[in-house]
Amino acid sequence: MVGMRRGSRPAALAALGVAVCLVVTACSGSDTPTDASTRLARTFDLQAHRGGAALTSENTLAAFSRALDLGVTTLELDAQVTRDGAVVVAHDNRVNPDKCRDTTPAKASDDLFPYSGKPFRLLTLAQVRTLDCGYQPAPDYPDQRAVPGARVPELREVVDLLRDRGADDVGLNVEIKVQADDLDLTVPREHYAEKVWSVLEEGGMADRVTIQSFDWASLTTVHRIAPHARLVALVSPERLERGKEGASPWLGGLDIDAVDGDVVRAASGITGVVAISPREDLPVDAAFVRSAHAARLAVVPWTVDDEEGMGRLVDLGVDGLITNRPDLLRTVLTHRGIATPPSHPAAG
């Protein structure tokens, strides 16, 4: 059975869609896709991308809190590792001035100040925590609710938020952001994976998390450190480098043309991978979904924010969606008679 190589709590199994029997073919032994509404009624994985970036300043505790208020299956987020080994939540490898602005230096005569534009790997946690990452709506999302003064959270704070909300049925999907074509942007893979997994394991999240990456070598690194970890192969068409001589740096030494350009075949060869997460224009069509399910992989496309695209993919039988609009995806699912995850509002 996909993703069930060790015992785990029933609530955790229900929480993290891609870690359990999303793919009916994997659970029943049949290769025949079933009706999407029937198959997804209990298990559709509604993932809030960066906490729901179209709604609230991305990757902030406010964004994750709002996603829990709405009701999601999974909080999708990005992990960075600082110079002093803290695991923080931020998408860009460098401090992005469109999202975070400098306030004051962490110490007097700080040679690295201003921190804007600096890689997180060169900054300490104290330096990172001075940034204001909610000072304005992101340029891509003018209707986003800004959260002035929002700090870059540590990954452990997101784990604590789930615990405080009693959200034992909500999982995490954590991206390791190693840039395969520019390895100096982040800490080394081994250090990166060890730090991220340590926080998750210490926080009791080992059975409620998937680790995803475009850098497939990072996935094999995580598997070496935590053989029971559930992994997700992120895919974008340009990183596959189809038709180019030699292996893409993103595929962990694999030349995609050596498997006839078959991304499902390539991803299924990575030990520990339970799901494939393609950009929706890969393209994701009925044949792709059937192929992935036959390979016992769940399909969770990213990042889908329009109602038409959501509906098309849900009707194809994908197992979940990563979206900046979890509110809209809830509506799309409800209109199709597909169960949506419960809300976990703050007490009081």
Give the dihedral sign, CA 144/149/153/158: negative
Say if residues 309 and 331 touch (Cβ distance below 8 Å).
Answer: no
Confidence (pLDDT) at 18: 39
Instruction: Provide the residue-wise pLDDT of the chain in tens; the chain has 348 residues.
Output: 333 333 332 333 333 443 334 433 333 333 334 444 344 344 799 999 999 999 999 999 999 999 999 999 999 999 999 999 999 999 999 999 999 999 999 999 999 999 999 999 999 999 999 999 999 999 999 999 999 999 999 999 999 999 999 999 999 999 999 999 999 999 999 999 999 999 999 999 999 999 999 999 999 999 999 999 999 999 999 999 999 999 999 999 999 999 999 999 999 999 999 999 999 999 999 999 999 999 999 999 999 999 999 999 999 999 999 999 999 999 999 999 999 999 999 987
Which H helix or E strand runs over 60? none
Say what the pLDDT of residue 170 is: 98
The full set of domain ranges for the chain reads 11-93+152-335
Which pLDDT score is estimated for 36?
Answer: 41
Q: Report which secondary-structure segment, H or E, holds 11.
A: helix 10-15
| One-letter amino acid for residue 161 of the chain | L
Which H or E element spans position 242?
Answer: none
N-term to C-term CA, the chain: 40
Return the bridge partners of 213, or none: 233
CA distances to 139, 214, 249, 255, 259 from 245, rounded to whole Å, are 37, 20, 12, 8, 13
DSSP 266-307: HHHTSTTEEEEEEBTTTT--HHHHHHHHHTT-EE--B---SH
Task: Evaluate whether the domain defined by 11-93+152-335 bears CATH number 3.40.50.2300.
Answer: no
> Of all helices (H) and strands (E), which one includes residue 151?
none
Tell me, what amino acid is at 274?
V
Contact between residue 296 and residue 290 where contact means Cβ atoms under 8 Å apart: no
Contact indicator for 84, 64 with CB cutoff of 8 Å: no
Q: What is the dihedral of CA 123, 99, 66, 222, to 10 degrees?
A: -40
pLDDT of residue 69: 98
| Cβ contact 77:59 at 8 Å | yes
